[in-house]
Structure 1
Amino acid sequence: MKKIGTWILMIGITVMLAACGTSSDAESSEDRKSGEGEALTVGITQIVEHPALNRATEGFKKALNEAGLNVNFVEEIAQGDNNNNQMIAQKFVGDEVDLIFANSTPSAQSALNETKDIPIVFTSVTDPVGAGLVESMKQPGGNVTGTADMHPETLSKTLGLIKDLDKKTVGLIYNASEQNSVSQVESVKKLAKEKGLDTAEATVSSSSEVKQAAESLVGKADSFLIITDNTVVSALESVLMVGQEQDIPVVVSEHDSVKRGGFAAYGFDYFDIGLEAGQKAVQILKEGKAPGEIPAEHPQNLKLMINKEAAEKMGVELTDKVKEKAEIVTTEKE
């Protein structure tokens, strides 16, 4: 009887608190927008851990912290599994988070599948329109906005670099289940043909298959282009090993991968696109703007970065024509 009485008392207190909360929600909404009062909850869903995506998450969090918002971040990694992606999205919707930050195309698609009400801000998405996340970059519509991880000129410039190296065939390794990757591969094939380059492809379903896929392209391709495929980028070192053993330059798609040992990339710092995505989240959480009214954006500050040490290991001679376009870095320890 004592236990039953205790439960009745707890239920009564809960009802009273709920009633108080209902009356104060409207009063505290402005406080929450200004970062004061009750803490906001932001769910962070990321397809897999690798340096570029991690940098984007760091940038996103910095933007919200610098804006003075009182935020609790709940971070979940899907370990490259789309089923996990969907469960993470379901959890965030069930927990009624105030905003979802989706770091990758699959993460954003899973979030949008689960909610049309909770604001979603994405980054590390190559083709937001093609992925069905936004109606257009300028006018996203719905409950989604964010930052892409592909500048409109990236692929053309990257293939131009491969052409400047006197290479003939571009080897592509990608996960065919990632819409982001399929879209890029189709674009690469079209642009390669225009530049007089051939392509050779190998697909994977997990990071454990990446090295074998790279080895399968030896003799078929004289260069590798690693697009922003999360499965492949998470196992980048496997491709670098093959490139070094076979004197095949491994051209990558972002600067973090250059710093990991990739030969070169026309890219940007993923921290920056995460930061820009965070600034959009601030407009939603602090200023009360609707996500669909905030333009989605491509990355800024596109530049060529070349890893001198990687070039040497992959047998690439850096001509003056190539060097004059690039920032030269090295992974050698001083």
Structure 2
Amino acid sequence: MRRRDFLGIFAGFALWPSFAKEEHSKPVIGFLSSRTPEDSARIVAAFRKGLTEAGYVEGQDATIAYRWAEGDYERLPALAAEIVRLKPSVLIAAGGEPSALAAKAASAEIPTVFSVGGDPVKIGLVRSMNRPGGNMTGVSLLATELEAKRLGILHELLPRAKVLGVLIDREFQESGTQILEITRAAEDIEQPVEIVYASNDDDLAIVFERLKTVGAEGLLVCASPFFDTRGKHIVAFEAQERLPAIHQFREYAVQGALMSYGVSPPDGYRQIGLYAGQILKGISPSDLPVVQPTTFEFVINAKAAGVAGLDIPASLLARADEVIQ
């Protein structure tokens, strides 16, 4: 072997520890979600976009460890503990209050960025919106605070409905607020409602039959991570029964539901990615205010309306941000 070749090989061995150290020092980001990878594809892409804009590309500058509860909230504490054992530099609690509360219980030290549907101050995640304090900050998508608005839109579509169904996940932390909002709103507009509850697949089968029995003429599906994981199943029931329904996110209307009204989750998750990057650069979560959306999207699926034999009022069509043909 020539001396030059030997020195080259030796130099390669000499450099190897530095490369190994660099690989080992790549920050780990924990990603805990109450949902599934399939129904979260768009928000994960938005999160990666925000993270990239902050200077961190998954696989190159950071490693992301994903854990999915797939709609089963009871799995979240164990999944959160798994992530904590990885000693991540930042933890993302995605998919609403169940993930955020599991992350809070798992660690009071790991910087955490959450996505919730309601008020993070009320459930004890942060001290205030502008000055979170502690190790947590994030985004409130206002998903659970718009139930009365959604009921009003459904009533506008079906002003003479004898009864409207309302589907609520009783295991979801914000269900109490949802029930209160729906009850008050229904009284204000003098609209009879039938509230039904589902937190698992067996429950869904029962409430579907209940909605048929009471003759529900429309359906409000309230915000819930569990319902997001069963979106296609719920929308299939609506299509089968020609039941006009309104949901929280655009994805439901794309899948075939009649309407959706709420914020755009990708916008919120892009912000979560930006916050994760800022934390990796040394900024404390306590210095990053909780973000709330300022824009909302109202989507109507015209094809679903045709299948249900409905004429959408001009007043609703004029307000729609998107009409899916």
Residue of structure 2 equivalent to 1:282: 277
Q: Which amino acid aligns with 1:116?
A: A
Measured against aligned partners, the alpha-carbon deviations of 1:139-183 in whole angstroms (never above 9, x if no partner) come to 222111111222687334322211211145332222211103343
Whole-angstrom distance in 2 between the partners of 1:328 and 1:63:
25
Q: CA RMSD in A?
A: 2.6
Give the conservation status (yes or no) of the 8 Å contact 1:48–1:77. Answer: yes
Residue of structure 2 equivalent to 1:62: 49
Residue of structure 1 equivalent to 2:7: none
Match for 2:63 among 50, 54, 72? 72
TM-score, normalization by structure 2: 0.83
Measured against aligned partners, the alpha-carbon deviations of 1:100-142 in whole angstroms (never above 9, x if no partner) come to 1011211111110011100110114333233322223222221
Partner SS for 2:306: helix
Once the two structures are TM-superposed, the CA of residue 198 in structure 1 deviates from its matched residue by 2.7
Whole-angstrom distance in 1 between the partners of 2:298 and 2:250:
9
Whole-angstrom distance in 2 between the partners of 1:173 and 1:152:
13
Measured against aligned partners, the alpha-carbon deviations of 1:39-59 in whole angstroms (never above 9, x if no partner) come to 110000111216653322221
Measured against aligned partners, the alpha-carbon deviations of 1:289-324 in whole angstroms (never above 9, x if no partner) come to 221221112223202110111112233211211111
Residue of structure 2 equivalent to 1:256: 251
- The 3 A distance-change label for structure 1 pair 321 and 51 is farther
Structure 1 segments unaligned to the other structure (5+ residues): 1-16, 21-27
Residue of structure 2 equivalent to 1:237: 232
Match for 1:204 among 198, 203, 208? 198
Give the conservation status (yes or no) of the 8 Å contact 2:222–2:248. Answer: yes
Residue of structure 2 equivalent to 1:82: 73
Residue of structure 2 equivalent to 1:5: none
Identity %: 25
Q: Which amino acid aligns with 2:295?
A: N
Give the conservation status (yes or no) of the 8 Å contact 2:148–2:181. Answer: no
Q: Which has the higher mean CA deviation after the structures are superposed, 191-200 or 272-281?
A: 191-200
1:188 lines up with 2:175 in the alignment: no
Q: Which amino acid aligns with 1:135?
A: R
Q: Which has the higher mean CA deviation after the structures are superposed, 102-111 or 48-57?
A: 48-57
Give the conservation status (yes or no) of the 8 Å contact 2:144–2:174. Answer: no
Match for 1:310 among 292, 304, 314? 304
Give the conservation status (yes or no) of the 8 Å contact 2:235–2:256. Answer: yes
Over 4 Å off, 4+ runs: none
Partner SS for 1:179: coil
- The number of residues matched between the two structures is 299
Partner SS for 1:231: helix
Q: Which has the higher mean CA deviation after the structures are superposed, 149-158 or 163-172?
A: 149-158
Residue of structure 2 equivalent to 1:265: 260
Residue of structure 1 equivalent to 2:149: 157
Q: Which amino acid aligns with 2:45?
A: E
Whole-angstrom distance in 1 between the partners of 2:130 and 2:189:
30
Q: Which has the higher mean CA deviation after the structures are superposed, 70-79 or 160-169?
A: 160-169
Residue of structure 1 equivalent to 2:100: 108
Match for 1:226 among 190, 199, 221? 221
Residue of structure 1 equivalent to 2:114: 122
TM-score, normalization by structure 1: 0.81
